[in-house]
Structure 1
Amino acid sequence: MKPRSPRSAPVVCAALASAALASYLLAASPGCDSEGSSRQPASDPTTLVSDAGSFTRSTLLGAFGQCALDGYRKTAQKSALLAEAVRQHESEQSAASLTAARTAFADAMVDYQRIEVMQFGPLAKKVAPGGEGIRDLVYAWPNVNRCLVDETLVARGYEAADFAAKGAVNTRGLAAVEYLLWNEGATNACADTSAINAGGTWQALEAGELSRRRAAYARVVVEDVAARLGALVQKWEPGGGNFLAELESAGTGSRHYGSQQLALNSVMDALFYVDVELKDEKVGRPLALTGSCTIDCGDQVEALHSKLGRAHLAANLAGFRAIFFGCGEGGAGLGFDDLLEGVGAARVATSVHAALAEVDAALSAIPEQKLEDELRAKSAAARTLHDALRKLGGLLKTEVVTVLNLELPGRVEGDND
């Protein structure tokens, strides 16, 4: 992501003037004045007021950072428990140990999927301010290649000392762990022409050996995931890398955020996960509504083998809700809704709340472990979910970013869906 520059105020102001909501949008937009000039100080000390009380942009950014850090801590703890369960399964090789490992995976993924919507700072891609690309090393989905995982299994590539550092991201991470823990069959995901099938090396593996290798492979991968998530926490901890202070000091000494507006934009960029990764990739692609897949796309569901997709989506929405409406119990604490209220645009926050409720209702209408089936069948329930997500994303792309004078992330620009 290139460094952000203030959006053209005359264009924004002209657009606002013609909008139905112009009366409060013009008053709220910090980029518009009587002469159409743009003024965005690096740091704005203005005290704002919402139903959460008085706050500044700095305290709001601190709340975002603390919410993310709390989520990272929980996810790191759950990943450590998952690593222990997988090690136990590798040792025992029993039905009970496999069930325990799967349960630990499902539990860890609830917390991980929540922080998927908090990809700012080191978890984000390297092009983002402070980004180190940690996310793709932990969970590279939708960059998944199950055939490559099977080929690595046959070659025992996971045993290489540098596998965790140099192995392709689509052969490791939590997506690979899901496949390794749930795929118990004797078949693989490769074509007949693949070397492991054409050469007979896969067929030569007897069932017990295949099970042992899957467990060993999963253990190597999940131990790497746990280590990376633990390192992520240390990058944020006040006693460690203290990235938390980077957000709080945006515009006043932060190494990564030259202005508070840039920091706010980075956090908002992360929330667009619900429009791109969730709506387009997790729901739209299997429905053949997004991307290059336009006919039979059912195998592109997120949790193909575990059928945990509905739980993943619910956790994604919980992460979105925590940042947008407050990270505390019942939405307590500061969120983007408070910033909107503080600049006189509470009605926009109310609209987002209503749209999110529609998404929740659409997802709740789909039974547990049935999302994959609904998507593959292109059912009415799955399409209703997609429509609700599109409405939510539309509000983010238009009213929210306009009122707060933010810019759309590059992966969203030009997307009119």
Structure 2
Amino acid sequence: MFPSPGLSHLIPLVEFAKLLLQQHNEFTVTFLIPSLGPLTPSMESILNTLPPNMNFTVLPQINIEDLPQNLEPATQMKLIVKHSIPFLQEAVKSLVSKTHLVALVLCMFSTDALEVAKQLNLSSYLFFSSGAVLFSFLLTLPKLDESASSQFLESSYETVNVPGVSFPFHVKDLPDPVLYERSSDTYTSLLDVCQKLSLFDGVIMNTFTDLEPEIIRVLQESENKKLCVYPVGPIIRNESNSEANIGGTLTHEQLNELAFGLELSGHKFLWVVRAPSKHSSSAYFSGQKDDPLEYLANGFLERTKENGLVVPSWAPQVEVLGHGSVGGFLSHCGWSSSLESVVNGVPMIAWPLFAEQTMNAKLLTDVLKVAVRPKVDDESGIVKREEVGKSVKRIMEGDESLEINKRMNELSDAAAATVLSDHGSSRKALSALALKWH
């Protein structure tokens, strides 16, 4: 297994490997880790505590000077992989000489490593840690690109149809890299990934049939019969990790509107505050050093001390969501966080910030109807305090809250059954995959 760089890509792949080996312990898994620098303490902790039939090799570091500066995170990850290909090739050749290697499993931003699988005549599988809605769109992007005008995808389409979704997505709701200039590294890098998706022997997907039934059906019945889709989720962390929970950031103005909104709602809250930034993804690769509590309006902490607990920078999200007293989760709608919320049956306030989070938010609010989404003020571009307070009340009080809770509990039950039951759809998908590897 060859993860994309970074802890947030390693964790789902490790959790998937554990799931595979719990049910099919005749396999052995080796992780081949690309690196730009020394492993972080969290990565070391995860890799050094792998079960006996899982091991790892850290590939030689690539030279940071070989990478352009100020790249968008996804493009940087893809380039790190590209520069690691010669090291990967040697590591895989070594494994082939010592063991019966049946497959190479790659992550989304590791698709350039597909050439290694092809050269060595190995089966290649994509582990897709996001949902089927994003995969279905990405599979469609090359065709959209071919028919788009020369300048901008955004200027060619107002809306885009995603196979398996009953409503069109507005272009502004698509993943960030799609909205870049078509000649930019960011856009061309994403397009290159999308063009390789149909070349894999199979796609292992971190979703489950009851969550995205129509999209999964369309993917499995698509014209491209070669592409086998294995929905084996939900795969979530058993415990929180501070580095994997970095998430997004808000502007200073939005931070204070959120604060006043929580106060207006009158409900008890736990708020993990991060220092504000103009760029919502600024905390993705680097942690923050400022004390975030210094940015809150004077008197807020004192006024809300009976109702709220404000925690700087980080809290154990998995453990918090699993606590029975939590009635709602305001989330940026990253896929892992969305699955954690579903598994624990916690309704959501959808507050997408970057990457594919807006697509996930639309799935949660418009299709699954287990989340509410605050309206952004047209003039200021921010969510005003009154809207924040209203959104909290919508998931905590009244008939709408009861309906959302009911649907979320049904999904939570389905999530448990699909993995734990011998007849569960994800359990069956995993068995089918293991059989193929045999």
Q: Whose helix proportion is higher, 1 or 2?
A: 1
- What is the TM-score normalised by the length of structure 2? 0.23
Higher RCO (CA < 8 A, seq sep 6+): 1
- What is the TM-score normalised by the length of structure 1? 0.24
Q: Whose strand proportion is higher, 1 or 2?
A: 2
